[in-house]
Amino acid sequence: MPEEDGARMSTGEPLVQSTPPFLRVGLIGDPVAHSYSPRFQQAAFDTLRIPARYELWHTPAARLIERVRSLCGEEFLGANVTIPHKEAVLPLLDEVDPLAARIGAVNTIVHRDDYLYGYNTDAPGLLYALQEQGVGELDDDDRVSLAGHTAILLGAGGAARGAAFALVEAGVKRLIILNRHLERAQMLASELQSVYDGPVFSLSDPGFLIPHPAAIIVNATSLGMHGDVSPLPVEVLARFDPDTFVYDMIYNPTQTYLLCQASAIGLRTANGLSMLLHQGALAFTLWTRRPAPLDVMRAALA
């Protein structure tokens, strides 16, 4: 089933809505209480009158196998997966989409006919979030192209891995990975070279960052979630052209120190809410085979 390799997934036949009393889908992670997903996923189910409930399934590592296997129950549409289980779920699934397999992380599980399928919607979610901000073009197959752009990726952890594969598959001209621990950036760079012909640079010192035109800076570190800290010193940011776009995957706080500094010097910016929305919309379509009501989901996040 996972034949579409991270693109907008097929809508196919509408989901049969007759299963009483409720279909179930939920978020598997530890912790999960902070998540915004129930808010906008439930709004989508309710709007389309799909009798499903989106639940929070707090799951410590010791209960992960049991939780994933429980998804084969007939009332389950599937699940989202978050920290710290995105990598650990892969061997528990019957089939994993090629993009998710390359990234090594699954954030969406679909249950169909006793089979569990794994996808990564974070990666295309980032691309749709960028495209919505006017960065990149949508091609005839509904894929985002970032041809001509230089991507500067801050971080080499789980979220950065998804972003890195998304950016190279969208055809960026070059990719620069900046991470505190250089060896992690180098390892990610060498993995990317198996699917990408363009140049990939690894750095640990932001001082060595050279500005490029049409640059997209993506923060995939957790720096900025608390306090006035930023993964890029403002004097480095100030080297970039005004057409540079700065995307911070963090959405809480909505305005990180990085985004404040970038907009203060005139760069275009956006926070991670749009990525959250698009990864969730793609997951919704995978579970239900229906187009996600994006406007409803967006309004529920506001």
Contacts to ligand NAP by CB under 6 A = 83, 122, 155-160, 179-181, 184, 220-223, 225, 231, 249-251, 272, 275-276, 279
Q: Which residues does residue 27 pair with via DSSP β-bridges, in sequence order? A: 56, 80
Q: Kindly tell me which of 23 and 153 has the beta carbon lying closer to ligand NAP.
A: 153
Q: Kindly tell me which of 23 and 154 has the beta carbon lying closer to ligand NAP.
A: 154
The radius of gyration of the chain from alpha carbons, rounded to an integer in Å, stands at 19
Q: Kindly tell me which of 70 and 222 has the beta carbon lying closer to ligand NAP.
A: 222
Q: Kindly tell me which of 229 and 264 has the beta carbon lying closer to ligand NAP.
A: 229
Contacts 24+ apart (CB under 8 A), 208-211: 209/152, 209/176, 209/178, 209/236, 209/239, 210/239, 211/239, 211/240, 211/241, 211/244
Q: Kindly tell me which of 23 and 127 has the beta carbon lying closer to ligand NAP.
A: 127
Token output for 24: 């179930």
What sections of the chain are H helices per DSSP? 37-47, 64-70, 98-103, 122-132, 158-169, 182-192, 234-237, 257-264, 273-288, 294-301
* Min separation Cβ 129 and ligand NAP, Å: 8
* Min separation Cβ 22 and ligand NAP, Å: 26
* Min separation Cβ 252 and ligand NAP, Å: 8
* Min separation Cβ 154 and ligand NAP, Å: 8
Q: Kindly tell me which of 23 and 257 has the beta carbon lying closer to ligand NAP.
A: 257
* Min separation Cβ 119 and ligand NAP, Å: 14
Q: Cα separation of 264 and 205, whole Å?
A: 23
Q: Catalytic residue, from 24, 67, 85, 86: name it.
A: 86
Token output for 264: 């203060």
Token output for 48: 């389309």
Q: Is 173 a catalytic residue?
A: no
> How many CB atoms neighbour CB 168 within 10 A?
21
DSSP string, 93-148: SSEE-HHHHHHT---EEEEETTEEEEE--HHHHHHHHHHHTT-SEE-TTS-EE-TT
* Min separation Cβ 88 and ligand NAP, Å: 13
Of 162, 171, 181, 149, the residue nearest 246 (C-alpha):
149
Q: Cα separation of 84 and 93, whole Å?
A: 16
Catalytically active residues, by annotation: 86
